[in-house]
Amino acid sequence: MQLLSLLFGVALTAAALLLFLRFWSFRSQSVQDYAQAGPQFDIRQHLSGPILCEGVIYGPTGRVTSRFVADFEAEWEGNVGVMKETFRYDSGRVQDREWRLTLGNDGTIKADAPDLVGTGIGQQAGNAVQLNYNIKLPEESGGHVLSTTDWMYLVENGTIMNRSQFRKYGIKVAELVATMRQKDAA
């Protein structure tokens, strides 16, 4: 009888956790939740030209582990864009990255970068963009492959608020919060 009670308790806890993750967590968002929200986020317009990015990275305990300032330069030819990024971390480390983004006519996004494992996929709708991908960290950071979910939200003044979560084996190991704005508007 005790074993049955224990198994019932475990099953109930697992069901509660799944419900929480499905309906009340960062990962429960859908891009369609923002489809009617304005202003309209078009990555070809809002992720274009010189962009200033500032942010922090939180470790698994919720404490800030790193701060950064980055310069982006994005150019689009039709629905294909290239975004070059230079990050300067508070440790003094400099990191260069380059994204290749392809926007479908239905708002879908495909993303490629040298440090991605496979192709990232996403969607833009309303004032939000979601992008999911697997990123391989540099060897000096352990070389781990992390499952990443990026959410970007366009606010009325043109600033983009970015929140990203990084997971290993389904467990959140880091979170990034950043702002991005076109340098002319900065």
48-57 pLDDT, tens digit per residue, is 999 999 999 9
Choose among 140, 94, 93, 100: nearest CA to 116: 100
Q: Which of 82, 80, 81, 83 is nearest to 72 (CA)?
A: 83
Cβ neighbors of 56 (< 8 A, separation 6 or more) are 64, 66, 67, 68, 176, 177, 178
- Give the pLDDT of residue 46: 95
The 10s digit of each residue's pLDDT in 109-165 is 999 999 999 999 999 999 999 999 999 998 888 899 999 999 999 999 999 999 999
Domains, the chain, in order of start with CATH, read 31-185 (2.40.128.20)
pLDDT of residue 184: 76
User: Does residue 1 register a pLDDT over 90?
Assistant: no
